[in-house]
Amino acid sequence: MNGLRRIAPWLLAWLVLAAAGCAWLAQQRLQQLHDAFDTDARIAHRVLSQRMVQHEAILATLVLLQPEGPAAGPAPWSALARPYPQVREVLRHGDAAQAWPAGWPQGMDAALAQSRASGHAVLARSDLASGQLYLVQAGSPASFALHLDLHATASADDWPLPAGSPVRAWLTLGSQRYEIQGGAETAGRWHWRAEKTLAAASQPLALHMQQTVRAGMLPWAAMLGWVAGSATLLAALRQLLRQRVARRRAEQLLQLGQVARLNTLGELAAGMAHELNQPLTAVLASSQAAQRLLADDEPDMPLLRQALAQAVAQARRASDVVTRLRRLVERPDAAARTSAIDLPQAAADALHLLEPQLAAHKAQVHTQFAPGLPAASADAVALQQILHNLLANALQAIEAMPPGERQIWITIAHQGAQLLLTVRDSGPGIAPDMLPRLFIPFATNRDHGLGLGLTLSQSLAEAMGGSLQLHEPAPGPGACFALRLPVHATR
């Protein structure tokens, strides 16, 4: 469960990064395809507009350059189908009495009258669905009309859409519709559309183009590559950060171990000085008493008196040496180095340093910090030493418990002018024979223990104006130690 909580932020970061990268790649690809669609739409509109304008130019040229009388041989305009394949037939209409050929629409006379009135070519009623257009322009002495085939108009070499293009294109004239190209697929939820009227006044047809946005357009290979690459990148970054955190933790543990060893040596030297000073003081007192007794007797014992005097001098010298040694190894006043310490953060830092050991023991740590806690007045290094000792003892206490029952509780509360931090474990508790000697130097029931951890921690707590005691009765299984520190006074 803890491993899942640790990896969850990285998994979320990978999902966000992968989604953002895939969205960007998809957007770039779709933007390229949309730009290509717009370019094809503009080219198609220009091609069809040029064709329609050519029709107007053809009629204007025929009306302007028509011969005065009947032409000998085949009509010169009969060859227009070769350069203009969309022109199926060119018709010369002499006067109003002349009938229009069969197959031409009935509205030719009306379109001719409209053209005569406007002086421009006019589109007669046409069958757009079949792709047939009829364009007429009045002239003198004769008028001309074109029968146009849209199939040939849109199949020119410069038409931008290939035969298998997914783009659908069609022309509309009012309610009529002519399908130029059906496209590969029309079903779908999202489409790109383009609509524009052709640039020919006599042929007001509107060009429509549409392309369906499909999943196959997305760059799946690039997206999968990005997903794999982002996963690899975040995995490498996570490993790098873990190595960095592990290195920093090792450095802090090394520094803390050095401080612990120095403090342990100081406690050891202080204990030795205390143990040696008492017998040396007794020797000094006995020697002085013997010297006084010998001074009251008359026996001539100069050599004895001289020996006793030397013993007194050596005893004093030993006492001075031990005193100087004790002063040398004693810790300076820790109260002078106190500052405002965030106690919950200090507990979190201690847990961070012991995170590998907690994971190795499969220990579950429960924290309960009261809201709005003030800062504690403590020395940062000394406080870390105390918390490290308490947590290390708790870990050793729960080693014999089943993995599911290895638990540690840390609570912080505000009690008047003090802050109370408790560390409780789910171990077997303190043995009855150890209770009176719990804070005595060198008292331990462990094979490789020195018995100085709790003594040193208590000394450090008292030097900071606080205390360290066994919480009795313990609020639950195992042992519970209570660290009290004064609240930092703010000016």
Q: What's the CATH number where 325 sits?
A: 1.10.287.130
Average pLDDT of span 30-49: 91
Pick the most confident of 135-149, 306-320, 332-346, 466-480.
135-149
Structure tokens at 33: 């395809």
225 in any annotated domain = no
Give the 3-state secondary structure of residue 373.
coil
Residue spans of alpha helices (H) in 365-485: 380-397, 453-463
User: At residue 332, does pLDDT exceed 80?
Assistant: no
CB neighbour list of residue 67: distance below 8 Å, 6 or more residues apart: none
Average pLDDT of span 219-223: 89
Strands (DSSP E) contained in 247-402 are: 339-341, 364-369, 376-378
Q: Please check whether residues 108 and 55 belong to one and the same domain.
A: yes
pLDDT per residue as tens digits for the range 277-320? 545 655 665 666 566 656 666 654 665 566 566 666 556 656 65
Q: Where a domain ends, among 306, 329, 352?
A: 329
In which band, very low, low, confident or very high, does the pLDDT at 385 lie, cut at 50, 70 and 90? Answer: confident
Q: What is the pLDDT of residue 31?
A: 92
Q: Please check whether residues 436 and 289 belong to one and the same domain.
A: no
Domain that residue 307 falls in: 245-329
Q: Please check whether residues 313 and 357 belong to one and the same domain.
A: no
Q: Where a domain ends, among 329, 352, 369?
A: 329
Q: Please check whether residues 201 and 309 belong to one and the same domain.
A: no
Q: What is the pLDDT of residue 420?
A: 93
Q: How many domains does the chain have?
A: 3
491 in any annotated domain = no
Q: For residue 381, give the nearest of 424, 327, 423, 339 by alpha carbon.
A: 339
Q: Where a domain ends, among 291, 310, 329?
A: 329
110 or 275, higher pLDDT: 110
131 in any annotated domain = yes
163 in any annotated domain = yes
Q: Please check whether residues 190 and 62 belong to one and the same domain.
A: yes
Q: Please check whether residues 383 and 307 belong to one and the same domain.
A: no
Structure tokens at 487: 């609240």
The answer to whether the predicted template modeling score (pTM) of the entire model surpasses 0.85 is no
pLDDT per residue as tens digits for the range 6-31? 677 878 888 888 899 889 999 999 99
Write the CATH number for 398.
3.30.565.10
227 in any annotated domain = no
452 in any annotated domain = yes
